[in-house]
């Protein structure tokens, strides 16, 4: 489903005043909460456990 379907009504009028990108979700959520006068935290559900950087999982490239 395109994002467009979430921000417009049946007459294609935009019904959203403010949005944010996923890449900056925490900052965007904080700004939206501040704008509407709500104090809330955005929970991080289904968090993947911290892992070592993937580059450290591989051997260095060797000249063949």
Measured distance CA(6)–CA(12) in Å, rounded: 10
DSSP code for 17:
S
Helix residue spans in 20-64 (DSSP H): 25-36
**Tens digit of pLDDT at every position of the chain (64 positions):** 788 888 999 999 999 988 888 899 999 999 999 999 999 999 988 888 887 777 777 766 655 5
- Residue 7 belongs to what H/E stretch? helix 4-7
The pLDDT score that the predictor gives to residue 62 is 55
pTM for this one?
Answer: 0.57
The pLDDT score that the predictor gives to residue 29 is 95
CB 28 within 8 A of CB 36: no
């Amino acid at each position: 489903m395109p994002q467009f379907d979430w921000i417009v009504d049946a007459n294609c009028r935009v019904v959203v005043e403010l949005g944010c990108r996923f890449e900056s979700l925490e900052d965007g959520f904080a700004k939206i909460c501040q704008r509407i006068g709500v104090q809330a935290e955005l929970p991080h559900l289904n968090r993947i456990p911290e892992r070592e950087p993937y580059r450290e999982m591989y051997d260095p490239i060797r000249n063949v």
